[in-house]
Structure 1
Amino acid sequence: MSSVLNVSAYLFTALDGLEERRERLRARAVAAGVRGTIILAPEGINLFLAGDAAAVRGILDDLRAEERFANLTAKESWSREQPFRKMVVKIKREIIRMDRPAIRPEGGRAPAVSPQTLKRWLDDGVDDHGREVVMLDTRNGFEVDYGRFAGAIDWRIERFTQFPDAAGATRGSLVGKTVVSYCTGGIRCEKAAIHLREQGVEAFQLDGGVLGYFEHVGGAHWDGDCFVFDEREAVGPDLAPRR
C-alpha cells in the first residue's frame, strides 16, 4: 500500500526575508518528519515534499496562512517509500533559472489552458478558433526521453537557460499557431509562455504541467512516463512510480 504523500508546488510571488524563511521552513519540515527540497527566491517558492499526509498538508496549510501564499496549489501523488534522503531548503536568484530578469511571472501570468480544455483541443486537432495546436516541450532533452505529448516539439535543450535562444531560432515556425508550452509541474512553461508571447507567438501554458494533466485527464495523447526529480525517477499517467 502506498502511504507516502508526495507533493509538488510552486508560486511566483514577491518574497523578502529569505534567510529567516529558510530556517523557519526547514525547522518546521524536520520537526514533522517531512523530507524534500524547497527553493526560495525573490520571485517566489518552488517545493517538493514527501512524508505523512497530515504532516505534508500541514506545512502547505501553514504557508497558505500567509496572504502571499494563499494561491499556492499542490499536485499530489503517492509512493510506498520516502523518495527523498533529507530535507533541504535553498535560496537562489530564481526558483527556475532562465537568466531573463525581465520575465516576471509574479507580475502577471501568461494565459493558461486547463488539462480538460487541452485534451479537447488535442482530440479535435484544433483550438476553439480552429487554429492548429502545437505542443512545445520546455524540459531538458533527457526528461523528454521518458515521455512526452505525441508530436510535441522538442528542442533538445540541456538546461532551461537555453530556451530563449532556441525559441528565437525557430520563432517563425510557431507564429500563426496556438502553442501550448508544458513541463513537469508548470513552473518552466509559465516563464516560457511569457517569453514566447513577447516574441509574438500565441502561447499558452499548460496549467499544472504534465502532473496536473495526469491528475485530471490521465494519459490521453501522452506517450511514455514523466520524469520527476526524486528517487521515484518517473511516474506514469496514473501518477504511480515507475522505478
Structure 2
Amino acid sequence: MSFVLATFYQFVELSNYYDMKDEIKAACDNVELKGTILLAEEGINATISGKRNAVNTIFDFLRSDCRLKDLTWKESTAEFQPFSKMKVKLKREIVNLGVSNLDISLRGQYVDPEHWDDFISQPEVLVIDTRNEYEVKLGKFKNAINPHTQCFREFPQWAESFSQSKNLKVAMYCTGGIRCEKSTAYMKSLGFNDVYHLKGGILSYLKRTHNKNGNWEGECFVFDDRIAVDNSLAPSDKIKCIFCSNQVSTDEMKSVSRGQVVCSDCKSS
C-alpha cells in the first residue's frame, strides 16, 4: 500500500491559532493521518501522510476555513508510512527565522519551476540556497551560494554580512518554499532590490520539470523517515554519508538525527 505525502504552508493571520490545535488534531486522527502541523499567528506549515481519501478529507476540512480557502500543497508518495505519529504544535513562527516584526508581504517575486532554469542561467543572477549545511551536502542547484548555516535562525546574520551589490538579482530556494519566501522578505528589508524565489521549492521543481536540464545535483533532503528523495520524488536509494560520500545503508539511516547522514565508519571515528 502506498502513502500520499502532502507538504504545505501558508502565511496568513491566524489570530485564534491556539484554538485550532485540538480541532485539527482530531480531524487528522479521525482519518488516520500522521505527520506534523505547525500553527502560529503568522500561518500554518506542515507535512502529513496517509491514504488518498484521508489526505483529500483533511484538505477539505482545512479549506473550509475561509482564511485557508486558497491552501495548496505538494504531493509525493512512499511505500511505507514515513511518520510514526500525528503532531499538531503551537509555535511563535511557522519557520523559525528569529526576526521580530518582519513584514512577510515584502517577499520577493515568485519564479515558476518551469522558468527557474532559464532565470538562474542569467549571468547577473545570484542563486542562494536558504537551507542548512547538512541539506546542501546531499544536493543543491549548480553554482548556488551556500551560506553554511546549521539552522535557519543563522540566516539573518549571514545575510547582513553578504557583501554583494544590493542591485544584483537574487534568486533563493529551499525544500518546499517556506524558508525562501520568508528569507526574501528579510533580504528586501536589508535593501536588496531584485529578489526572487522558487515557487513551491525544490519539491515543486522536481515534480514539474523532472530535472530535465540537470541543474539539480544530488538528492533532496526531506524532514521525515524517507531522509531524501530523488528526481522523481521517490525515496532515494543513493543517500551518501555527508563526510566520506560513501553510500549509507537503510539500517544506518534509522539513527539519522536532524539530517546528520553519517555512515557507521565515520560515526565511530
The two structures share one fold, judged by TM-score above 0.5: yes
User: In 1, distance between residues paired with 2:146 and 2:107?
Assistant: 23
2:156 aligns with: 164
Deviations along 1:59-85, one digit per CA (max 9) or x if unpaired, are 012111211101211000000000000
User: In 2, distance between residues paired with 1:16 and 1:32?
Assistant: 26
Count of residues paired in the alignment: 234
Structure 1 spans left out of the alignment, 5+ residues? none
Find the partner of 2:113 among 112, 115, 121. Answer: 115
Is the CA contact 1:228–1:235 (under 8 Å) kept in the aligned structure 2? Answer: yes
Structure 2 spans left out of the alignment, 5+ residues? 238-269
Please tell me whether Structure 1 or Structure 2 has the larger radius of gyration of its CA atoms.
2
Is the CA contact 2:16–2:41 (under 8 Å) kept in the aligned structure 1? Answer: no
Is the CA contact 1:12–1:43 (under 8 Å) kept in the aligned structure 2? Answer: yes
1:193 aligns with: 184
Is the CA contact 1:147–1:226 (under 8 Å) kept in the aligned structure 2? Answer: yes
1:176 aligns with: 167
State TM-score, norm by structure 2: 0.83
> Which runs of structure 2 are paired with 1:15-164 in the superposition (5 Å)?
15-105=14-104, 107=105, 109-122=107-120, 125-126=121-122, 132-164=124-156
- Name the Cα RMSD after superposition: 1.4
Q: CA deviation at 1:110?
A: 2.4
Q: CA deviation at 1:40?
A: 0.2
Is the CA contact 2:106–2:189 (under 8 Å) kept in the aligned structure 1? Answer: no
Moved more, 196-205 or 79-88: 196-205
2:218 aligns with: 224
- Rate the CA distance shift 1:102–1:81 in 2: closer, same or farther, 3 A: same
**SS state at 1:153 partner:** coil
State TM-score, norm by structure 1: 0.92
Which aligned segments of 4 or more residues in structure 1 are displaced greater than 3 angstroms? none
Q: Which has the higher contact order (CA 8 A, sep 6+)?
A: 1
